């Protein structure tokens, strides 16, 4: 409820006028029935020649015209206000979602998260629509009917008010008790949607392992669970309808029998009978809409509550209140007695210390799980260390704005993420205000200008979802071009040449020789040839530095790095021998 109220308060005048117009339209609908009573009473006059039927007729027709104008005005206001509110909700939820740490996204389906945002906005829109056209109008009409009936016979007004309160309380109580049923349906729906997106996004694997039928059967199980929960939610609504219809049948019958009895006794006029009948049936239909809207609203609240429970969690990493921008001068990086463990309790660093001088090129090597990726993640503040401090140019990364910090770091990850946009847009992502000439220059530095120009539309070619229309090496070079265009003082290469062939790797190394000048470079490398010209290599094992020095010095020592170097060299020689033998 507070989530919705926040957005209503953001547009107080629009929602205020909207509800005022809707209340006015509903009030006119009741007064139209009163106009009909006046007209019938006038026509029931024994002297037809002198009976004033024109005044109630003009009153009746005028109210119909005003009612129509108010309803159409309400529709126009609702269209602008409710749709705009839905846009604001999605933007705010997206903004909050992207503030979560990376481990959050590894724990949730990407498709399900996107679906939750859309489902929340849609559910909120349905609640606001229901409130505007299915809750406020019948509520207004019920109040108006009570007032009108009180003018005819105060006992009827009191009876109607009492009956409506009893029925509304029963329906609301019934709806609240079904909250868990609707919440379960929302959860199962989101889960099934996430499973479907997960399979579609991995369709190559499905085909490669002949798993179409297996995945269909698995998906059938998930959809079966969702269908069962949907049926429970649906049937709960049907039970509410049944309860409502029974109550209203009793109410309508009682009011009509009472009205006819009073008419036969001469206590009320034929017009009174007409208005009692009209208002009874209007309340009959209006309260049905009201009851269904109340029960449906509880279902929509279930959808919103389920989504907010996942998306609106507090951020694991937040900027402090007085976060200032990072003043990057040379790109020096210091790990000062840093300790870090993952939420599952797995410890990566314990009292870790490392100093990287400004402008230094440092390679990170070591076996899987040694802490290389965690180290570069902590520098970008994708996670926060539990103890110690990480400083860039003497400033703690936890005391500067996250966006400011990351704007000074260019990253080329192992798997390049490309948007379904043009090549020009994907490269320009590193520097949104870059000119076309700057984008092309970055592409040339990354040795991808030639293959781009060979594409049907050159730099304006769309790369497909996640860059699927390009090869792995092409995607990798576009990512490198994007990072080069960013021109940040710190450059992080996370297996940046892993998807490149030998010739392309040599081309990138030549480009790096110029582009890394005056910048701090930190590279996680599987191919040790990539870092052979670096100033320094740090070898990590189980979160500890076991070797640290220039590549040539480490090779002379005959330690871990030298062993890894020899192993790769032997593998290369064997691969070349096998290739020659095949020829």
Taking CA atoms, 327 is separated from 334, 404, 489, 493, in Å, by 15, 9, 11, 22
Q: Tell me the domains of the chain and their CATH numbers.
A: 2-311 (1.20.1560.10)
pLDDT at 480: 83
- For the sheet with 409-412, list strands across it: 409-412, 490-494, 520-524, 361-365, 536-541, 544-549
Q: How many residues does the chain have?
A: 583
Asked if 482 contacts 474 with a C-beta cutoff of 8 angstroms, the reply is no
The count of C-alpha atoms lying within 13 angstroms of the C-alpha of 206, restricted to the half-sphere facing its C-beta, is: 16
Helix, strand, or coil (residue 445): helix
Helix, strand, or coil (residue 293): helix
Rounded CA-CA distance 63/147 in Å is 18
pLDDT (tens digit per residue) in 495-506: 766 555 666 666
Rounded CA-CA distance 367/356 in Å is 21
pLDDT at 284: 66
Rounded CA-CA distance 392/332 in Å is 5
Taking CA atoms, 562 is separated from 366, 509, 555, in Å, by 12, 21, 4
280-283, long-range: CB within 8 Å, 24+ apart, which pairs? 280/251, 280/252, 280/255, 280/256, 281/252, 282/29, 282/30, 282/33, 282/141, 282/145, 283/138, 283/141, 283/142, 283/145, 283/160, 283/164, 283/248, 283/251
pLDDT (tens digit per residue) in 561-575: 888 888 877 665 555
Helix, strand, or coil (residue 242): helix
pLDDT at 335: 92
The residues facing 409 across adjacent strands are 490
| Per-residue confidence in pLDDT tens, the chain, 583 aa | 888 889 989 888 989 898 899 888 888 887 777 777 777 777 776 666 666 778 878 887 888 888 889 888 888 988 888 888 988 998 999 888 888 777 777 677 666 788 788 888 888 888 888 888 888 888 888 888 778 778 777 787 787 777 777 777 777 677 667 767 777 777 777 777 777 777 776 776 777 767 778 888 888 888 888 888 888 877 877 777 777 777 777 777 777 788 788 877 777 777 777 777 777 777 766 666 776 777 778 778 878 887 888 888 877 776 664 567 888 778 889 999 999 988 777 888 999 999 999 888 998 988 888 888 889 889 988 888 889 999 998 888 888 888 888 888 888 887 777 888 888 988 888 888 888 888 898 888 888 888 888 888 888 988 876 667 777 777 888 888 888 888 888 888 887 665 556 666 666 666 666 667 778 989 888 778 778 888 899 999 988 999 898 888 888 888 888 888 888 776 655 555 555 555 5
Rounded CA-CA distance 283/275 in Å is 12
pLDDT at 288: 67
Kind of pairing, strands 387-392 and 395-396? Answer: antiparallel
pLDDT at 466: 64
Best CA proximity match to 111, nearest among 185, 192, 184: 192
């Amino acid at each position: 409820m507070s989530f919705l109220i926040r957005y209503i308060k953001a547009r107080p005048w629009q929602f205020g006028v909207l509800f005022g117009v809707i209340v006015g339209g509903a009030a006119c609908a009741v007064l139209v029935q009163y106009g009909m009573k006046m007209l019938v009473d006038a026509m029931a006059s024994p002297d037809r020649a002198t009976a004033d039927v024109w005044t109630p007729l003009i009153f009746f027709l005028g109210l119909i015209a005003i009612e129509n104008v108010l309803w159409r005005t309400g529709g126009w206001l609702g269209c602008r206000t409710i749709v705009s509110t839905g846009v604001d909700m999605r933007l705010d939820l997206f903004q909050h979602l992207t503030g979560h740490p990376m481990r959050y996204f590894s724990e949730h389906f990407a498709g399900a998260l996107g679906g939750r945002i859309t489902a929340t906005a849609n559910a909120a829109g349905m609640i606001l629509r229901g409130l505007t056209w299915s809750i406020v109008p019948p509520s207004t009409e019920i109040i108006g009917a009570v007032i009108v009936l009180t003018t005819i016979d105060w006992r009827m007004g009191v009876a109607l008010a009492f009956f409506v309160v009893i029925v509304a309380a029963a329906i609301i109580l019934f709806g609240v008790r079904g909250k868990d049923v609707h919440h379960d349906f929302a959860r199962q729906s989101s889960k099934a949607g996430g499973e479907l997106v997960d399979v579609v996004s991995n369709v190559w694997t499905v085909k490669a392992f002949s798993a179409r039928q297996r995945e269909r059967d698995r998906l059938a199980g998930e959809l079966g669970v969702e269908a069962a929960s949907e049926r429970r939610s649906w049937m709960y609504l049907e039970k509410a309808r049944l309860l409502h219809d029974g109550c209203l049948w009793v109410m309508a019958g009682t009011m009509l029998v009472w009205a006819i009895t009073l008419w036969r006794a001469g206590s009320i006029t034929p017009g009174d009978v007409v208005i009692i009948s009209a208002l009874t049936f209007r309340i009959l239909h209006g309260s049905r809409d009201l009851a269904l809207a109340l029960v449906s609203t509880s279902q929509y609240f279930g959808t919103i509550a389920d989504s907010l429970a996942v998306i609106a969690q507090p951020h694991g990493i937040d900027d402090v209140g007085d976060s200032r921008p990072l003043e990057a001068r040379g790109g020096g990086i210091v790990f000062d007695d840093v300790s870090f463990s993952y939420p599952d309790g797995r410890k990566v660093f314990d009292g870790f210390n490392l100093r990287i001088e400004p402008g230094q090129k440092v390679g990170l090597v070591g076996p899987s799980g040694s802490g290389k990726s965690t180290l570069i993640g902590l520098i970008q503040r994708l996670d926060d260390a539990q103890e110690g401090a990480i400083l860039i140019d003497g400033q703690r990364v936890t005391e500067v704005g996250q966006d400011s910090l990351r704007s000074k770091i260019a990253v080329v990850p192992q798997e390049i993420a490309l948007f379904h946009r043009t090549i020009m847009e994907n490269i320009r992502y590193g520097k949104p205000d870059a000119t076309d000439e700057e984008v092309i220059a970055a592409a040339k530095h990354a040795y991808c200008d030639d293959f781009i120009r060979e594409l049907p539309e050159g730099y304006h070619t769309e790369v497909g979802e996640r860059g699927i229309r390009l090869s792995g090496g092409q995607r990798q070079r576009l990512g490198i071009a994007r990072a080069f265009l960013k021109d940040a003082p710190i450059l992080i290469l996370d297996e940046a040449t892993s998807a490149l062939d030998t010739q392309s790797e040599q081309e990138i190394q030549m480009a790096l020789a110029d582009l890394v000048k005056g910048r701090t470079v930190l590279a996680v490398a599987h191919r040790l040839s990539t870092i052979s010209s670096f100033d320094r290599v740090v070898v990590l094992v189980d979160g500890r530095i076991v070797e640290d020095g220039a590549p040539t010095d480490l090779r002379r020592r005959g330690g871990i790095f030298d062993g890894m170097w020899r192993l790769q060299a032997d593998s290369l020689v064997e691969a070349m021998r096998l290739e020659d033998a095949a020829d």
